[in-house]
Chain A
Amino acid sequence: MPQSVSESLQKAGSADARSSLRNGYVLEFEKPIAEVEQKVSEMKQIARSGGLDSFSDDIRRMERKATKLKEEIYRKLTRWQKVQMARHPQRPYTLDYIPRICSGWTELHGDRCFADDKAIVGGLASIDDVPLMIIGHQKGRGTKDNLYRNFGMPNPEGYRKALRLMMLAAKFNRPVVTFIDTPGAYPGLGAEERGQAEAIAHNLFEMARLPVPIVTIVIGEGGSGGALAISVADRIFMLEHAIYSVISPEGCASILYRDAAEAERAAEALKLTAPDLVNLKIVDGIIEEPLGGAHRDVDAMAALIKEKILSTLKELQQLSPEELVRARQEKYANIGFWLE
């Protein structure tokens, strides 16, 4: 782990207030942590009101216990637990990262054909004076916002907007960075009428030959073709607890086991976590999350993402457009396993 990464992770771990589960959404496997954290906060309150100094040793001990528990639990999540983490309602979304990572953000709207899809955002920005195009899925928080964002499920116009922005970036020789976080492309009447399949297919085709660097960060849920449509990239990184899958575990379970409740089994079988996909050589690396997940310390997470984007762009910008496209094409042409 690079120095600065471990530093920011340590910082994240010590940031008690931010890393607490209190007032938050607690997943089933997080309950033991929530209990210990609750106890720590109670003890602190008593200590504060009573001014009991002798208490502080106990508090420190409990805090150490909480940290140890967190390490035990979060570093060994099962695939199904990671699915839950990737979909955590408090997980940071694209628009949480953008202001923390870049400056001069100008969102660009619309596909110039039909509408502006709120489930994909994109625009101009700079990261440390490097101008680039940022495109990402956008989920909503809460019912109203989620309806506005269509739960992060794009319609064809979302993919067409993304393509428009990528072509614009290519025209002015700016790199493209995409953030992946979608349950999938929206399966609706209008989406089919307006050519969901054509929109995705067109993006794949153009991304396969786009003459500027493309870097993808899977920040949450990578939902099948709806994610792939903006992630044919030179480098793909996944956050530690992100997932990327050909089909949702629920969808897979209902087809293979005839029971969506078997999603846990399906998640295991699908090999959809960051380490799985690094092993399969589909993903280039993992960005470690603050202990307990990206939502415990969004600033620290954003700093790590920013650093990864910058170092990757630095590396990719040494290639000529032809070399870049050739390397990207070779990478994809080599994916597959067969007997012969």
Chain B
Amino acid sequence: MDWFRKTREGLTAKAKKETPDGLWVKCESCGEIIFRRELEKQFLVCPKCRFHFAMPGSQYISLLIDEESWEEIDTNIQAKDPLSFRDTQKYSDRILKAIKKTGQKEAITTGTGELDSNPVVLGVMNFRFFGGSVGSVVGEKLARAIDRAIAERRAVIIISSSGGMRMQEGMVSLMQMAKGSVKFSQLAAAKLPYISVLTNPTTGGTTASFSMQGDVILAEPRALIGFAGPRVIKQTIGQDLPEGFQRSEFLLEHGFLDEIVERKDMKAKLAQVLAFFSGNESS
């Protein structure tokens, strides 16, 4: 729920690495100076410490989807302001700014394509857009993506990165958790697989709904994954959090992930998992 602070942090961090002045990028985890082209060749993963830099949605799509099979859906749906919400700025103005800044209309991009020849519906969340927060548009795009998957017998893959529900839409956004759950239960009733992939960071109501509802749940290494944000927990317990708390490895250890997968292996791993489920098309 505390997307704002995270967005700001994320943005300052990202602004540095997405518009590198020179050919060199500094790893924000280990401090290694990396040749830009080398970093890109490695799918934005630090060659020294394997830190996974945030990956723009479009790049994640090309990482996973077979060439020329991608078709984006619901490109024209855009946020409305159901509460006439304003804090220091109007929500409607913030939306326009986010669109301008990111070149994207919302915090998720959805579409159909093939992953190693497996028909899928893929949704990739964009943390840069409003901290990846979930409001009506993300909820509706998810819902339609699932309807599409059911109609065309496709598996669903969602790549999450989100700070939770979008508080500017108030309870309407909270209800998107229930809406998504309804749609994923329909997908389950249709006996179609849902693979959830968690990337850094996935917190709040997003984790507490569709991100944790996968038939198989994967995560990138060292992604922050949790319900409450670390800052809130620290405040509650009044002490520092243990090293590695709420990271992918911690979740795997406690039984909440099926596997941690490096980005370079993600497509192959997803293809393997999908292969297990395929052949169920006639059910």
Contact = CB atoms under 8 A, between A and B. Distances in A.
Given A192-B227, A194-B254, A201-B211, A269 B85 contact: yes
Given A251-B2, A255-B4, A191 B170 contact: no
B118 interface: no
Contact of B136 (A200, A269, A336): A336
A247 B1 contact: yes
B87 interface: yes
B183 A333 contact: yes
A201 B143 contact: no
A21 interface: no
A188 B167 contact: no
B137 A205 contact: no
Nearest to A194: B254
Contacts, number: 200
Interface in B194-247: 204-205, 207-213, 225-228, 232-233, 236-237, 241-242, 245-246
A146 to B, nearest CB: 15
B59 interface: no
Contact of A335 (B77, B176, B186): B176
A202 B209 CA distance: 8
A271 interface: yes
Interface residues of A, number: 54
B42 to A, nearest CB: 30
A206 to B, nearest CB: 8
Contacts of A188: 228, 233, 236-237
Given A196-B208, A246-B167, A335 B181 contact: no
A166 B259 CA distance: 30
A307 to B, nearest CB: 26
Interface string A249-272: 001100111000000001001111
B265 to A, nearest CB: 24
A24 B146 CA distance: 53
A277 interface: yes
Interface string B127-147: 000000000110110010000
A270 B167 CA distance: 8
Determine the main DSSP class of B at the interface with A: helix
Given A189-B233, A192-B245, A225 B208 contact: yes
B181 A201 contact: yes
Interface in A213-250: 224-225, 228-229, 232, 244-247
Contact of A228 (B178, B226, B246): B178
A280 B177 contact: no
Which of A198, A232, A246 has the most chain B CB within a 10 Å cutoff?
A: A246
A52 interface: no
Interface string A290-334: 000000000000000000000000000000000000001100110
A271 B182 contact: no
A210 B213 CA distance: 16
Contacts of B236: 186-188
B266 interface: no
Contacts of A266: 87
A209 B189 contact: yes
Which of B228, B237, B256 has the most chain A CB within a 10 Å cutoff?
A: B228
Contacts of A229: 208
A225 B205 CA distance: 6
Contact of B178 (A187, A196, A270, A332): A332
B120 to A, nearest CB: 21
A170 interface: no
B255 interface: yes
Interface in B245-273: 245-246, 250, 254-256
A73 interface: no
B11 interface: no
Contacts of B241: 189
A196 B227 contact: yes
Contact of A192 (B4, B77, B233): B233
A204 B209 contact: yes
Contact of A198 (B174, B182, B188, B256): B256
B79 interface: yes
B109 interface: no
Interface of A: 185-189, 191-198, 200-202, 204-205, 207-209, 224-225, 228-229, 232, 244-247, 251-252, 255-257, 266, 269-272, 276-277, 280, 282, 328-329, 332-333, 335-340
29 contacts: A185-B227, A187-B233, A189-B233, A189-B241, A191-B228, A194-B254, A195-B256, A196-B226, A196-B228, A197-B207, A197-B208, A204-B177, A205-B213, A207-B181, A244-B171, A246-B205, A255-B167, A256-B88, A256-B167, A257-B87, A270-B171, A280-B172, A335-B136, A336-B137, A337-B80, A338-B80, A339-B79, A340-B76, A340-B78
The 9 closest A-B pairs by CB, nearest first: A187-B228, A336-B136, A201-B212, A204-B181, A197-B207, A256-B87, A197-B227, A200-B208, A337-B82
